[in-house]
Amino acid sequence: ARNRPDVDADRIVMWSTSFGGGLATHVAHDDGNIRAVVAQCPMMDNPKTIKLGMSQRSPAQNNKLKRLAVTAALMNLVGLRGPCLPVTDPGRMSIIPSDESVKFHEVGGPTWRNEVAVLSFAKGQTGVNNPIRIADAFTTPLLLQICEQDETVDNAGAEAFAEKAGGSVTKKYYDCGHFDLYLEPLFPNSAADATAYFLSHL
């Protein structure tokens, strides 16, 4: 973005959501010249959220998911894509097993496909890209938009990140689930809060 002639390289902000919320903190931390970050319903402690998802699946489903991950890794070695799973499906095993995840169908748009490659989780390096690991050193202004009824990410991670990062973090709470900030009637409110935060740092 900084190489574009229509972009002020010293006035860049980042908006992010869910797993991307955590990734944005890493990018901002590594870059060192991001004015502000907004992280909506953010996944700020990956192991905690993974454990939450496991608690929403049966032991048999969790074991199957582990086997699929091994299969995906082996297939990747020979250049194959490997297995996919539904992002959300109340009737069978899916990547996001929370009851609220059915709202993803309202958010995804007409070209969205309800599937994700199992291998993407290994390539996402959820251990290395775990936001809580950098919280003590994080100094970029950050707005955490926390959904109080979130069943998809573990909000304890966001709270812990904010406590460790200290004064650089502002928290805003919404009485809703993980996907509600993408939808009416809350979307205009969350977008306005994000916009106001960005403008205050530009």
Predicted pLDDT at 1:
86
Give the chain's domains with CATH numbers.
13-200 (3.40.50.1820)
Residue 79: phi and psi, rounded to 5, are 85, 15
Q: Output DSSP code: residue 92.
A: S
- 202 close to 11: Cβ distance less than 8 angstroms: yes
Q: Residue 48: enclosing H or E segment and its boundaries?
A: helix 46-55
Neighbours of 129 (CB within 10 A): 17
Query: What contacts 38, CB < 8 A, 6 or more positions away?
Result: 13, 14, 15, 16, 142, 143, 145, 194, 197, 198
Check pLDDT > 90 for residue 177: yes
Residues 145, 106: Cα–Cα separation, whole Å = 20
Span 70-116, pLDDT tens digits? 999 999 999 998 999 999 997 789 999 999 999 999 998 899 999 99
- Predicted confidence at residue 90, as pLDDT, reads 78
How much is the mean pLDDT over the chain? 95
Q: Give per-residue pLDDT as tens, 12-59.
A: 999 999 999 999 999 999 999 999 999 999 999 999 999 999 999 999
The encoded tokens of residue 111 equal: 């070209």
Please list the helix, strand and coil fractions of the chain in percent, rounded to the nearest 5, in that order.
45, 15, 40
Pairing of strands 169-174, 142-147: parallel
**Is the confidence at residue 164, as pLDDT, over 80?**
yes
The structure's pTM equals: 0.93
Split at pLDDT 50, 70, 90, the class of 179 is very high
Give the model's pLDDT for residue 72.
Answer: 93
* pLDDT at residue number 121: 76
Which residues 6+ apart lie within 8 Å of 39 measured at CB? 16, 17, 21, 22, 24, 25, 142, 143, 144, 145
Residue 125: predicted pLDDT: 75
Instruction: Give the integer Cα–Cα distance in Å for 179 and 71.
Output: 31
Check whether 123 has a pLDDT greater than 80: no
Identify the three-state secondary structure at position 149.
coil
pLDDT for 124 beyond 80: no
The predicted pLDDT at position 81 comes to: 87
